[in-house]
A and B are shown apart, each in its own frame.
Chain A
Amino acid sequence: GEDVEQSLFLSVREGDSSVINCTYTDSSSTYLYWYKQEPGAGLQLLTYIFSNMDMKQDQRLTVLLNKKDKHLSLRIADTQTGDSAIYFCAENPPRDDKIIFGKGTRLHILP
């Protein structure tokens, strides 16, 4: 069935790059997303990538998509304390309204 998997925790030093990885099962998913959730807040759409792309860059964020391996990653350059949050990978299967979420990766920033 449809599933999105990601590691639960990542610790990174302030100023380093963070790379959060995700695998998904539906190779025909049309859109893949990264959402950010800060403590006590909702889900903020950070960025998304269309399935016919392999890379998307938006300021400090770089999304890489490997369709063959069904692997998605989010790179945050120059990680700041404000980047501390849970990051959710998500897919939108074709002809489907819903978004399917992973469990989220908690990013912890070390001083």
Chain B
Amino acid sequence: EPEVTQTPSHQVTQMGQEVILRCVPISNHLYFYWYRQILGQKVEFLVSFYNNEISEKSEIFDDQFSVERPDGSNFTLKIRSTKLEDSAMYFCASSEGHEQYFGPGTRLTVT
């Protein structure tokens, strides 16, 4: 069964550093998403992406964040200058309609 994959599974970085989280969505899906879950809190929507552009973003997704689909398979989330409060589990998801399928997540730890 096709699934969304994410790398790395765990990323440790120092405050102020840039990180890129990578995702390979399910191959025939056209819609891509990033969510995050801070420890003990709800899963929160960050951004959706369709037809090579952002279709919706939340208040969390400020200028420090960017997304890209650099080739036909990868979908990336870049955080330009990480802050301590960016520590969270980041989930990528993809869909071809209303069913969003999630990857296993990347745990980002900012020290």
> Which interface class (under 10, 10 to 19, 20 to 34, 35 or more) fits A?
20 to 34
Label chain B's interface by main secondary structure: strand
Residue pair A98, B58 in contact (C-beta under 8 Å): yes
A43 and B90 CA atoms in complex are apart in Å by 11
Look across to chain A and name the residue whose beta carbon is closest to the beta carbon of B48. A97
SS class of chain A's interface: helix, strand, loop or mixed?
loop
- Could you tell me if A98 and B56 are in contact, using CB atoms closer than 8 angstroms? yes
Shortest CB-to-CB span from B98 to chain A, Å, is 5
Q: Are A48's CB and B104's CB within 8 A?
A: no
| Interface membership of chain A positions 60-101, coded 1 if the CB is closer than 8 angstroms to chain B and 0 otherwise | 000000000000000000000000000010001000111111
Measuring CB to CB, which residues of chain A are less than 8 angstroms from any residue of chain B?
A: 30-31, 35, 41-45, 48, 88, 92, 96-104
Q: B25 contacts the other chain (Cβ, under 8 Å)? A: no
